[in-house]
């Protein structure tokens, strides 16, 4: 008689922001397939509800909650709603973010775009942790994975606003990891290079074959990444297989940052 392999996240509660498309969607589907109760969060209610519904149709457990990571009260309500829905919080993937503008010198970066980038990409992640960590402490630990970027560990001209937000994510990830390691909370960050997604299409035009080839050539491995490849790393970081890993920034970059 054959028995199926145990699912790594059976009955675990996972909160994912930016879960309506791209890396967030791929990660939500992967967690659900491994038995998790997934609490999906995004600004776009129609797309978020569609993803949650399709996960349920496939036999998974998923609920959608609309929230904007630039709105602090909405972040607090988001975490509260997750705990009320599923009874706790084991894992958080703070993935939501925006791209802003690229190709402008630091002296030319629009002030309003700078403010929005830091509000969502950095302050939003900080506020998520501010509310997630107390819930994890109440149940004796947990795992947080924050979305950074290769632009958070390596300099790229024309990206000062985005880089500031993502370098900031790396910094608060390390600080929080050291603060809460003794209480059983691990905090790590992932740093993808160019990943096939709506953002990659907006920034790099990757739906055009010639432009995708240009982006692919930046990576020694010779291609851009897939959202599922980032999801695989996120799930590993969230799992017991990574129980001795915290305060890390994991590059998922096809060799770009070597």
Task: Give catalytic residues, as residue numbers.
Answer: 162
The helix (run of H) or strand (run of E) holding residue 17 is strand 13-17
CB under 8 Å to 151, separation ≥6 — which residues? Answer: 159, 162, 163, 166, 167
For 257, the token pair is: 């940052």
Kind of pairing, strands 142-147 and 37-42? Answer: unpaired
Where would I find the beta strands (DSSP E) of 52-174?
A: 61-66, 91-94, 142-147
Kind of pairing, strands 91-94 and 142-147? Answer: parallel
Complete edge-to-edge strand list for the sheet that includes strand 91-94:
61-66, 37-42, 13-17, 91-94, 142-147, 185-192, 249-252
CB 95 within 8 A of CB 147: yes
End-to-end CA distance of the chain: 47
Coil, strand or helix at 202: helix
For residue 181, the Cα-to-chain-centroid distance in whole angstroms is 20
> DSSP secondary-structure letter at 155?
-
CB 52 within 8 A of CB 60: no
Coil, strand or helix at 143: strand
């Amino acid at each position: 008689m054959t028995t199926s392999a145990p699912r790594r996240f059976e009955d675990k509660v996972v909160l994912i922001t930016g879960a309506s498309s791209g890396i967030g969607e791929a990660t939500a589907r992967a967690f659900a397939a491994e038995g998790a109760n997934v609490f999906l969060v995004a600004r776009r209610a129609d797309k978020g509800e569609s993803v949650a519904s399709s996960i349920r149709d496939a036999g998974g457990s998923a609920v959608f909650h609309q929230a904007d990571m630039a709105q602090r009260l909405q972040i607090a309500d988001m975490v509260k709603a997750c705990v009320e829905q599923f009874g706790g919080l084991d894992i958080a993937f703070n993935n939501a973010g925006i791209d802003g503008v690229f190709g402008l010198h630091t002296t030319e970066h629009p002030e309003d775009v700078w403010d929005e980038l830091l509000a969502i990409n950095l302050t939003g992640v900080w506020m998520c942790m501010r509310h997630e960590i107390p819930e994890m402490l109440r149940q004796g630990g947990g795992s947080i994975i924050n979305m950074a970027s290769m632009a958070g560990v390596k300099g790229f001209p024309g990206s000062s606003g985005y880089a500031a937000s993502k370098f900031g994510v790396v910094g608060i990830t390390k600080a929080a990891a050291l603060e809460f390691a003794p209480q059983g909370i691990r905090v790590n960050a992932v740093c993808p290079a160019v990943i096939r997604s709506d953002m990659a299409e907006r920034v790099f035009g990757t739906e055009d074959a010639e432009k995708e080839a240009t982006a692919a050539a930046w990576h020694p491995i010779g291609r851009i990444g897939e959202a599922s490849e980032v999801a695989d790393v996120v799930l590993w970081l969230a799992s017991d297989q990574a129980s001795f890993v915290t305060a890390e920034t994991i590059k998922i970059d096809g060799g770009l940052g070597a």
